[in-house]
Amino acid sequence: MDGAQGSVAQGSRGGQAGRATEAPAERPAGSLRSEVTPVAEFASSAFTNGYEFTQGSGYKLPEYPFIEPPELRAGQPGHHPIVIVGGGLAGLTMACALAHYRVPAVLLDEDNTVGVKGASSRGICYTQKSLEIFERLGFYERIAAKGIQWSVGRTFAGHDEVYSFDLKQQPGYHLSSQPPFINIQQFYIEGFLVERIHELGGIDLRWSSRVTGFRQDAECATLTVSTPAGEYELRADHVIDATGSHSPFRAWAGASVTAKKGDDRWCIADVRFTKHPPVERHTWIEAPFNENRAVWQHLMGDNVWRIDYQMPPDADPEYVSREDVVRERLLRQFGADCAVEIVWVGPYAYRSECIDRMRHGRVFFMGDAAKVVSPFGARGGNTGVADADNLAWKLAAVIKGRAAPGLLDSYHEERHEAACQNVLVTNRTARFLRPADGMERTFRAAALGLARQHVFARHLVNTGRMAIANPYSRSSVCHSTGGQSVQNVGFEWADGTRGKVNDLLRWADGRLLLLLFGEASVSSMQRLRALCESAPLRAVQVTGPEERAGAREFVRDTDGRLQGACHVFGHAWALVRPDSYVAATGESVDAGLVRAVARALAADRETA
Ligand SMILES: Cc1cc2nc3c(=O)[nH]c(=O)nc-3n(C[C@H](O)[C@H](O)[C@H](O)COP(=O)(O)OP(=O)(O)OC[C@H]3O[C@@H](n4cnc5c(N)ncnc54)[C@H](O)[C@@H]3O)c2cc1C
């Protein structure tokens, strides 16, 4: 979510030390894109994120060079199968996933770095599903090495603990090879993505390239790109809008948005200090050291703590983020004996927005361009990552002729359901944290009072329901038995070494993966072999402790984890998509499986 408003004084480029010197000013939203920027006036600083540096020592972010594109040299518009606009978390994940499937694409970003210029970080909490996706894309280890793993959360009202959880004990999280959460600054993940994209190859990353115009027709989409070396046009079959919450494509494509703006105000302080609280997610609904308003406390990479303070609704963003005011607040919480180094401070306000359709002709909206949620529960960036993972395999399958074009419509069906769910859940949290006077406030007081005394009432306390892999219940390409995410669980290869679901997905290489659990008859095996030869499908038999493998390709699931992760029991099959979601499950290798394969690739519609 990108809910920053108010103080937008611009810090030094590259996030180097330096206090804001300009007077805070309201940023004219989207003004850069409403007109074609003349060459000489290309403004290299990006103002589109609405979440900028105010003060602190900050971080030095990498700077990527502008390389003159072939279109400018040739004076001719290039034509590309896929153009991604926006190199934030969602756009870079999309590019990396396409590179993983060996599908070429161009990525355009108006900036020349990752993160938000001058700012420390926006997102910090990355959920298991995102970590599993990053593992499949081949750079999870870098995140694990830099980030902080956590699973325990505690919520306090005053000095009383009123809610707690340990995600490791919860069934939705405990099977995976990845931890429930890792905290790490968002720009690190974006930087690792850029590295990985370079390693994989096939993606043309174009920095300092701002899209200033767009049109589409039956032939193609045409983008106008403004760069330091001039302006050019680019044609594309498919355009991915990953430009964040100020997306110009919404207006260009005529997309409607359902929006809600709250009056809740927050001020983030990213700090290093000499105290070392437990590595847990601590939230206060009523913090005595913050005039009984809410506070969040999280550790992230480099020993930096994120402390998020709720402000009065009418708070002046400039005042609340002033260094002396921030320091006083920190000392009230951690005591006068605690030495504090301020890494970054920024005020923000929450809002929620959801686009009504995630596909408009050739344009697919993803990440914050598609929906904006308040950060409670880490549902913003994580769902942008899932958007990208959902669309990448579908585009790859359609472009390679493995699936019908109708498969692309399921992107809206699945990810819009997820977006609506995430907006709903975060809006509920936002209302609990900033209840309206009257009934909502009375309910919150009652919930807190009960939670102090009774375990049953603890679930009423809502400081953010942590992000999950959203299920798909309305997808036209998933059977009613499918639509759930498969965790990245472990198993044994035939030679006794350990493998995990992502290894099987990599082996399937963008095709569907059929896991056949238990022993199977010779005739079932023959039918399956024939199906694998005629459809983009790879199959593997999964045997339990006492079972005999009949197939050439088999793995062992001695503890039943793989079966549990696929949501099936006994002799059964699970059809798993490249994004590690179940398309369908069944019992026999029969016409039902053939239909499920066709449906998962939208091939049933073409022949209907
Ligand atoms: C305080 C705070 C805390 C948060 N915490 C979390 C968290 O813990 N976990 C989590 O998952 N999420 C969190 N979020 C949300 C997360 O930061 C966003 O959801 C995420 O950044 C969205 O990514 P994106 O790629 O969609 O958009 P962005 O990150 O905004 O990227 C958009 C990109 O598009 C580029 N661009 C824009 N316009 C153009 C144009 N015309 N031409 C070319 N390029 C353009 C920009 O330069 C930018 O690189 C938090 C947000 C805030 C504000």
Distance of CA 65 to the CA centre of its chain: 26
Mutate to test the pocket of ligand 1, among 5, 7, 48, 187 (most ligand atoms within 8 A of CB): 48
Cα(514) to ligand 1 centroid in Å equals: 35
Higher pLDDT, 454 or 366: 366
Q: What average pLDDT does range 7-26 have in this prediction?
A: 26
Radius of gyration of the chain (CA): 25
Is residue 569 within 8 Å of 517, Cβ to Cβ?
Answer: no
Is residue 78 within 8 Å of 234, Cβ to Cβ?
Answer: yes
Binding site membership of 375 for ligand 1 (Cβ less than 6 Å): yes
Q: What is the pLDDT of residue 398?
A: 98
Residues 6+ apart with CB under 8 A from 82: 98, 103, 104, 105, 106, 236, 237, 238, 239, 240, 395, 399
Q: What is the pLDDT of residue 482?
A: 96
- For 336, counting Cβ atoms within 10 Å of its Cβ (0-12 exposed, 13-18 middle, 19+ buried), the class is exposed
Phi and psi, residue 527, nearest 5°? -65, -40
Calpha distance 379→243 (Å, rounded): 17
Q: What is the pLDDT of residue 3?
A: 31
The least confident of 58-72, 362-376, 391-405, 586-600 is 58-72
Residue 307 has pLDDT above 80, yes or no: yes
Q: Which atom of ligand 1 is nearest to the CA of 467?
A: 11
Cα(2) to ligand 1 centroid in Å equals: 6
Cα(375) to ligand 1 centroid in Å equals: 12
Higher pLDDT, 6 or 515: 515
In the chain, the domains with their CATH numbers are 13-419 (3.50.50.60), 490-607 (3.40.30.10)
Binding site membership of 150 for ligand 1 (Cβ less than 6 Å): no
pLDDT tens-digit series, residues 181-227? 999 999 999 999 999 999 999 999 999 999 999 999 999 999 999 99
Nearest CA to ligand 1 atom 2: 122
Helix (H) or strand (E) holding 241: strand 230-241
Q: What average pLDDT does range 396-401 have in this prediction?
A: 98
Q: What average pLDDT does range 252-279 have in this prediction?
A: 88
Q: What is the pLDDT of residue 340?
A: 87
Higher pLDDT, 556 or 266: 556
Binding site membership of 387 for ligand 1 (Cβ less than 6 Å): no
Is residue 27 within 8 Å of 2, Cβ to Cβ?
Answer: no
Residues 6+ apart with CB under 8 A from 592: 586
Q: What average pLDDT does range 69-74 have in this prediction?
A: 94
Phi and psi, residue 311, nearest 5°? -110, 165
Mutate to test the pocket of ligand 1, among 33, 122, 208, 300 (most ligand atoms within 8 A of CB): 122
Residue 157 has pLDDT above 80, yes or no: yes
How many degrees, rounded to 5, is the angle at CA 464 between CA 470 and CA 259?
70
Calpha distance 342→330 (Å, rounded): 10
Tokens of 293: 């308003």
Binding site membership of 88 for ligand 1 (Cβ less than 6 Å): yes
Q: Which atom of ligand 1 is nearest to the CA of 49?
A: 30
Binding site membership of 268 for ligand 1 (Cβ less than 6 Å): yes
Calpha distance 558→543 (Å, rounded): 8
Mean residue pLDDT across the chain: 86
pLDDT band at 382 (very low <50, low <70, confident <90, very high): very high
Tokens of 367: 């990440």
Residue 600 has pLDDT above 90, yes or no: yes
Binding site membership of 380 for ligand 1 (Cβ less than 6 Å): yes
Q: Decide the pairing of beta strands 160-166 and 210-216.
A: unpaired
Beta bridge partners of 556: 492, 543
Q: What is the pLDDT of residue 427?
A: 85
pLDDT band at 44 (very low <50, low <70, confident <90, very high): low
Binding site membership of 48 for ligand 1 (Cβ less than 6 Å): yes
Q: What is the pLDDT of residue 121?
A: 67
Residue 10 has pLDDT above 60, yes or no: no
SS3 200: helix
Binding site membership of 234 for ligand 1 (Cβ less than 6 Å): no
Residue 48 has pLDDT above 80, yes or no: no
Residue 476 has pLDDT above 90, yes or no: yes
Q: What is the pLDDT of residue 72?
A: 94
Cα(601) to ligand 1 centroid in Å equals: 31
pLDDT band at 20 (very low <50, low <70, confident <90, very high): very low
Q: What is the pLDDT of residue 80?
A: 97
Cα(185) to ligand 1 centroid in Å equals: 12
Cα(123) to ligand 1 centroid in Å equals: 8
Binding site membership of 464 for ligand 1 (Cβ less than 6 Å): no
Residue 197 one-letter amino acid: I
Calpha distance 20→12 (Å, rounded): 8
Is residue 485 within 8 Å of 580, Cβ to Cβ?
Answer: yes
The least confident of 63-72, 235-244, 465-474 is 465-474
Cα(242) to ligand 1 centroid in Å equals: 9
Cα(366) to ligand 1 centroid in Å equals: 11
Cα(174) to ligand 1 centroid in Å equals: 29
pLDDT tens-digit series, residues 101-129? 999 999 999 999 887 765 556 889 999 99
Q: Which atom of ligand 1 is nearest to the CA of 247?
A: 38
The least confident of 260-269, 472-481, 509-518 is 260-269
Residue 14 has pLDDT above 50, yes or no: no
**Residue indicated by tokens 């890494």:** 343
- Candidates 218, 237, 214, 252; CA nearest to 106 is 237
Q: Which atom of ligand 1 is nearest to the CA of 245?
A: 30
Q: What is the pLDDT of residue 393?
A: 98
Q: What is the pLDDT of residue 234?
A: 96
Q: What is the pLDDT of residue 36?
A: 29
Q: What is the pLDDT of residue 477?
A: 97
Cα(490) to ligand 1 centroid in Å equals: 32
Residue 35 has pLDDT above 50, yes or no: no
- For 172, counting Cβ atoms within 10 Å of its Cβ (0-12 exposed, 13-18 middle, 19+ buried), the class is middle
Binding site membership of 113 for ligand 1 (Cβ less than 6 Å): no
Tokens of 127: 């959920």
Higher pLDDT, 535 or 18: 535
Q: Which atom of ligand 1 is nearest to the CA of 209?
A: 43
Residue 317 has pLDDT above 60, yes or no: yes
Binding site membership of 345 for ligand 1 (Cβ less than 6 Å): no
Residue 11 has pLDDT above 50, yes or no: no
Q: What is the pLDDT of residue 429?
A: 85
Q: Which atom of ligand 1 is nearest to the CA of 3?
A: 53
Q: Which atom of ligand 1 is nearest to the CA of 130?
A: 11
Q: What average pLDDT does range 87-110 have in this prediction?
A: 98
Residue 27 has pLDDT above 60, yes or no: no
Nearest CA to ligand 1 atom 23: 89
Tokens of 149: 């793993």
pLDDT band at 595 (very low <50, low <70, confident <90, very high): very high
Cα(88) to ligand 1 centroid in Å equals: 6
Q: Encode 94-119: b = buried (16+ Cβ within 10 Å), e = exposed.
A: bbbbbbbbebebbbbbbbbbbbbbbb
Higher pLDDT, 366 or 547: 366
To 10 degrees, what angle do helices 380-399 and 409-433 make?
Answer: 180
Residues of the chain above pLDDT 70, percent: 89
Nearest CA to ligand 1 atom 52: 122
Binding site membership of 347 for ligand 1 (Cβ less than 6 Å): no
Binding site membership of 50 for ligand 1 (Cβ less than 6 Å): no
Binding site membership of 51 for ligand 1 (Cβ less than 6 Å): yes
Q: What is the pLDDT of residue 46?
A: 39
pLDDT tens-digit series, residues 426-458? 888 888 888 888 888 899 888 888 989 898 888
Cα(387) to ligand 1 centroid in Å equals: 13
pLDDT tens-digit series, residues 495-510? 999 999 999 999 999 9
Nearest CA to ligand 1 atom 26: 367
Cα(576) to ligand 1 centroid in Å equals: 30
Cα(112) to ligand 1 centroid in Å equals: 15
**Residue indicated by tokens 């079972």:** 547
Binding site membership of 33 for ligand 1 (Cβ less than 6 Å): yes
Q: Decide the pairing of beta strands 148-150 and 78-85.
A: unpaired
Cα(369) to ligand 1 centroid in Å equals: 9
Calpha distance 385→232 (Å, rounded): 29
Q: What is the pLDDT of residue 119?
A: 59
Cα(49) to ligand 1 centroid in Å equals: 7
